Amino acid sequence: MRKSAGILLYKKEKDILLFFLVHPGGPFWKDKDVGSWTIPKGEFTDEEDALTAAKREFFEETGQEINGNFYELKPVKQKAGKMVYSWAVEGNIDADNIVSNSFKMEWPYKSGKWISVPEVDKGEWFTVNDARQKINPAQIALIDELVMWQNEKAL
C-alpha cells in the first residue's frame, strides 16, 4: 500500500484559525482549484520514520523547515487508496516565497516529451471554511480533527 506523510501547518490571527495548503504543480493541476489543494506531503518507506518523512516533505515542497510541538492526526485514506499520515503544528511561513523541488514527467502523456515541473506551484493560508473547500476531499478530516482539538484545548 502506498503511503504519504505530511504536515498540516496552522496559525491563529485575531482568534481566526488559518491553515497552510499547497497546490500541486504541473499541467494536469494547472486549472484545478476546488478539491485539489493538499497538505505538504510525500511518500515514504517502511524504513523511514513517518514524522521525519513529513518534515522532509514539508521542506522539499516549501523550501522552509518547520519545528514545534507536533500533534499526530488520524491517518486518512485517499480516493486512490493511498494512506496519509500527518501531524499538525502551529507555525508561520511566508506563503508567497515557497520553493519546491521539481520532477520530470511525460507531457502530453505517451508523447515521448519530458518536462520538468515543480511538485508544488503555490502555497496559501486559508480559513477553516475555505480550506475545507480547497483541500483534497479525503483530507477534510484532518482539518476537522484539528479544529475539534483546538476547541477542546480552548475549554
User: What's the CATH code of the domain at 16?
Assistant: 3.90.79.10
pLDDT-derived band at 71 (thresholds 50, 70, 90) equals very high
Whole-Å CA distances, 64 to 1, 4, 5, 56, 61? 29, 19, 16, 10, 8
As for how many domains the chain has, the answer is 1
- What range defines the domain where residue 40 resides? 3-154
Q: pLDDT tens for residues 40-70?
A: 999 999 999 999 999 999 999 999 999 999 9
How high is the pLDDT of residue 127? 98
Distance CA 98, CA 95 (A): 6
Residue 154 has pLDDT above 80, yes or no: no
Q: What is the DSSP string of 72-134?
A: EPPPEE-TTS-EEEEEEEE----GGG----EEEEESSTTSS-EEEEESEEEEEEEEHHHHHHH
Q: What is the CA radius of gyration of the chain?
A: 15
pTM of the model: 0.94
